[in-house]
Structure 1
Amino acid sequence: MNERTAPVKEGEQYEVHIDSVGGKGDGIARVKGFVLFVPNTKENDFVMVKVTKVLEKVGFAEVVKQLEKKDRPAPRQKRFETVSKESLERVPEKPMYDENIEDTDDFGEDLDEE
């Protein structure tokens, strides 16, 4: 069977970013991809949390400390850049082949026949 253990344990503390808010109003944070529900938070909060309960696929945590701007972890760097249609139109086209190569019709004629 495919058994996975949660990457967090009850009692552990983490600095997290609240990514979104769930249907019941709890903040949603992720630690190593594992979802933690954090009550009394809002989207884009940075908080220190203590894990209170761990289930198979999700966990629950409580706020220990509201982090100030200077205490916040560095933002993640984007892996991909957003490109607009207009910026692509300004890029000069490169030829698909080298113009200095002579095109010949004798392809394969220099191979030895067996």
Structure 2
Amino acid sequence: MKGITFPAWQGSRYVTLAELVVCLGDFALDLTWRVECEEIVDTRCVEMQKRSAEGDLDTLTLLSLTTPGFQMIDAQARGFAGEAAVVVLTEVDSSSWEISAVDPAVLRPFRGRYRGVRAL
């Protein structure tokens, strides 16, 4: 997988998991997700982890659980196509995002949208 990282705070605005999933565009539509939250900051973290364990977390459900303003701390969302992880979104200490993808083309929209993007 190829990856990038950038600050989770873009000025005074926090970049949410929902925003990243939307930035993935059509690529994310048919994925299923497994979410792990090291720090539980909201009951939605528990719900995401529960649905992940059951294999029942599709993209639209993930988006419904990560409404605007929902901030994660030390969490990872892995997007799967079948049994293979094809994208990984990792929130590091509420300060940066790391995004890795099997297809490097998936990373392009992030490069033009966020400040401070650099290769992992």
TM-score under structure 2 normalisation?
0.21
The answer to which structure has the higher strand fraction is 2
Name the structure, 1 or 2, with higher relative contact order (CA <8 Å, separation 6+).
Answer: 2
TM-score under structure 1 normalisation?
0.21
